[in-house]
Amino acid sequence: MQAEYVIVGAGSAGCAMAYRLAEAGKSVIVIEHGGSDAGPFIQMPAALSYPMNMKAYDWGFHTAPEPHLGGRTLATPRGKVIGGSSSINGMVYVRGHARDFDTWQEMGARGWAYADVLPYYKRMEHWHAGIHGGDPAWRGTDGPLHVTRGPRRNPLVKAFVEAGKQAGYPETKDYNGAQQEGFGPFDATIYRGRRWSAANAYLRPALKRENCTLIRAFARRVVIEEGRAVGVEVDRKGQTEVIRATREVIIAASAINSPKLLMLSGIGPADHLAEHGIAVIADRPGVGQNLQDHLELYIQQAAIQPVTLFTYWKLIWKALIGAAWLFGKRGLGTSNQFESAAFVRSKPGVEYPDIQFHFLPLAIRYDGKVAAEGHGYQAHVGPMRSASRGAVTLTSADPAADPHILFNYMSDPQDWADFRTCIRLTREIFGQAAFAPYSGHEIQPGEAVQSDAALDDFIRAHAESAYHPCGTCRMGAADDPMAVVDPECRVIGVEGLRVADSSIFPQITNGNLNAPSIMVGEKASDHILGRDPLPRANDVPWINPKWAVSQR
């Protein structure tokens, strides 16, 4: 079993790289521990709360008790299935803000400024602009990844954008175009009523080529001989074997599993590896460090009109929606129901948005439990650029053991002030005239929760992960002691080994991470193939001219 390139992980970045390398005529083996993505739980957009909570599709990781969240242990779902987390996520498509990528460049990721990455976003997208407007000049039109918008028929979806405008915020027709800041429609990786995961967009077309093979196996470690990665040791069909790479091994196993695999292979903080009896091949203290995520809260409001999706929560309706989807890819089953978004700034002096809203015309949790109140709606809200940092470390030298995951959420004092701001701004939006015909009492946090101390108690008890882990194999300059990979995604100190997935992000981007993860796979492909990067873009993004003096 050998190929020129061996990719560990058929997730968002791994599928994109498999497609581009195979397209270039290279032989590729993709190793994936998870199985098939067939069936309605993954493919039906409205069923998104199921795969995230199913052992068949999820690695089932949990954090250690989080000290600043009252010792709560939080779920950390990662996709264990072809398509990776793009097969179990909420299908929300956000590129990130232009300034995010300019910051990456300032942090040592040379060649990853917005002008450098925008051409890769355009290359990967097939943006269906004609249906809903948007910003066609900023978007790609013939890439493998179909990006669409939901029908936006529910009156609450439109009320949310109208309320934002009434509160004095700008409207944006396309937050993935020139102007992220403001209220507007959400983009989604949904096409013809189906989840358009990285498996559907990239892996299936790649596997149609004779030079691309998918192997179901569990990766134990990278085999390194004389300082060079030469293959991957895997458990497959009850046997341990080595799948060899004649050119390179590429790890794309997630912000949790990529650093784990590096450490098991002898690449990481030397003292930590020694504790577990692992021989040190490259002392890289940054491996597993710099762990980041987005936390969010659900602000829930009761509805006095039966216009929410709660109407369809009865079993009979679920069956009818499922049937309409199954037999015609029609109806409510074709949308993830996240159809309105907002990106705003928390205060004057913040140059670009640092708060994101997902609006949902239903009061529900990620585990699929609806509010006892019945009809309601909610905004998921949270800060985008927390200064809190955690780590992924080994619990054992046994590859089968789960890693130790501590995000260290809310460890920075600024996080508490930022979250209180998020709650108060959401309440102000829900209090606008656009919601007056629908608005009942506040379900959560509840009208009694007003003081800083009361809000902090609510945050401590209810903040949830948005499932956006990243940063654990940070990209930076080759002479940066805490960098793990250089700006071409090469692991510093080992030949023939790269990492390319969300773990290489120097800093978390604005919004959901699926789009930037796929972009990393696209751009890394050109580095792997030794091609010149795509020509830099000249597009100038919009920054609010009043940002220094005004919050909106």
> What's residue 131's pLDDT?
61
CATH number for the region 2-62+75-528 comes to: 3.50.50.60
Distance CA 542, CA 229 (A): 44
Residue ranges per domain, the chain? 2-62+75-528
Report the share of the chain in percent with pLDDT over 90: 94
pLDDT band of 398, cuts 50, 70, 90: very high
Given a cut of 70, is residue 433 above it in pLDDT?
yes
Is pLDDT above 70 for 133? no
Instruction: Find the mean pLDDT for residues 101-115.
Output: 98
- Residues whose CB falls within 8 Å of the CB of residue 369, separated by 6 or more in sequence, listed in order: none
Q: Which amino acid is at 25?
A: G
- Is the pTM higher than 0.85? The answer reads yes
Q: 448: how many CB neighbours lie within 10 A of its CB?
A: 8
pLDDT-derived band at 130 (thresholds 50, 70, 90) equals low
Which active-site residues does the annotation give? 468
Q: Rounded distance, CA 472 to CA 6, Å? A: 21
Mean pLDDT across the chain = 96
Quote the CA–CA distance of 196 and 458 in Å, as a whole number.
36
Across residues 7-19, what is the average pLDDT? 98
Residue pair 154/332 in contact (Cβ under 8 Å)? The answer is: no
Q: Are 168 and 552 in contact (CB under 8 A)?
A: yes
**Residue in 122, 108, 104 with CA at minimum distance from that of residue 522:** 122
Angle 12-23/514-528 helices, nearest 10 degrees? 30
**Structure tokens, 65:** 């008790």
**Residues 279-308: pLDDT tens digits?**
999 999 999 999 999 999 999 999 999 999
With H, G, I as helix, E, B as strand and everything else as coil, classify residue 322: helix
Please determine, for residue 132, whether its predicted confidence score (pLDDT) is greater than 70. Answer: no
Strand partners, 433: none
Please give the distance of CA 472 from its chain centroid, rounded to a whole number: 14
Question: What pLDDT digit, counting tens, does each position of 136-161 carry?
Answer: 889 999 999 999 999 999 999 999 99
CA distances from 145 to 91, 97, 217, 256, 523 (A): 12, 19, 26, 25, 15
**Rounded Cα distance, 540 and 546, in Å:** 17
pLDDT number for residue 75: 95
Kind and range of the H or E element at 266? none
- What number of H helices and E strands is found in the chain? 14, 24
Please tell me the distance from the alpha carbon of residue 191 to that of residue 199, in angstroms, as a whole number: 13
- Residue 359's Cβ-side half-sphere holds a number of Cα atoms within 13 Å equal to 30
What percent of the residues of the chain are helix, what percent strand, and what percent coil, each to the nearest 5? 30, 25, 45
* pLDDT at position 10: 98
